[in-house]
A = this chain, B = another copy of it.
Amino acid sequence: MAVRVQEADFDVGAELAALTAGNHKVGGLGVFIGVVRDTAGDAAVAGMTLEHYPGMTERQLAAIEAEAVARWPIEASLIVHRVGRLAPGENIVLVACASAHRQAALDATAFLIDWLKTKAPFWKLEETADGESWVDARESDDAAAARWRR
């Protein structure tokens, strides 16, 4: 179980290999990778800057991960989130969850990214031809997170 916030890109292959190395109880690994798109609605996006709340971010990510571990039989999990300026095509976030069972791995992965989106204190400042603007929170993200409420 690990969470990291960093400016540097992450090496997906190396991260996933390290996550399950030597653990032969793992039968399935669910992964989600968030990437910077080059459009937002109709506007072309030149890049974005990710701001966060150091300290609270790590605390919230650890709490989200602990909640996943309490709900599913997880062998290993990882959240890596980047901050700073990112160009289209660059990785934003890596979420991975390993379990003996496929369904647990997939569900826990979806849970982690859905909760992260509505609870972890990150903010996106998007660059378009109209200048810089803060991305608005989306109701669809709240709805996705609400699926997991109980």
Contacts and interface: CB of A to CB of B under 8 A. Distances in A.
Interface stretch (A13-21, A64-72, A77-85, A125-133): A13-21
Contacts of A32: 28-31, 102, 105-106
Contacts of A31: 29-33
Contacts of A29: 31-33, 35
A73 interface: no
Copies in the complex: 2
A12 B20 CA distance: 13
B22 A28 contact: no
A32 B110 CA distance: 12
Chain A interface, DSSP helix/strand/loop, else mixed? mixed
Given A32-B28, A33-B28, A102-B34, A89 B13 contact: no
A88 interface: yes
A128 to B, nearest CB: 14
Interface in A95-139: 100, 102-103, 105-106, 109-110, 113, 117
15 contacts: A12-B12, A12-B16, A13-B16, A16-B33, A20-B89, A22-B89, A24-B89, A25-B37, A27-B34, A27-B37, A28-B33, A29-B31, A31-B32, A106-B106, A106-B109
Interface of A: 11-14, 16-17, 20, 22-39, 88-89, 100, 102-103, 105-106, 109-110, 113, 117, 140, 144
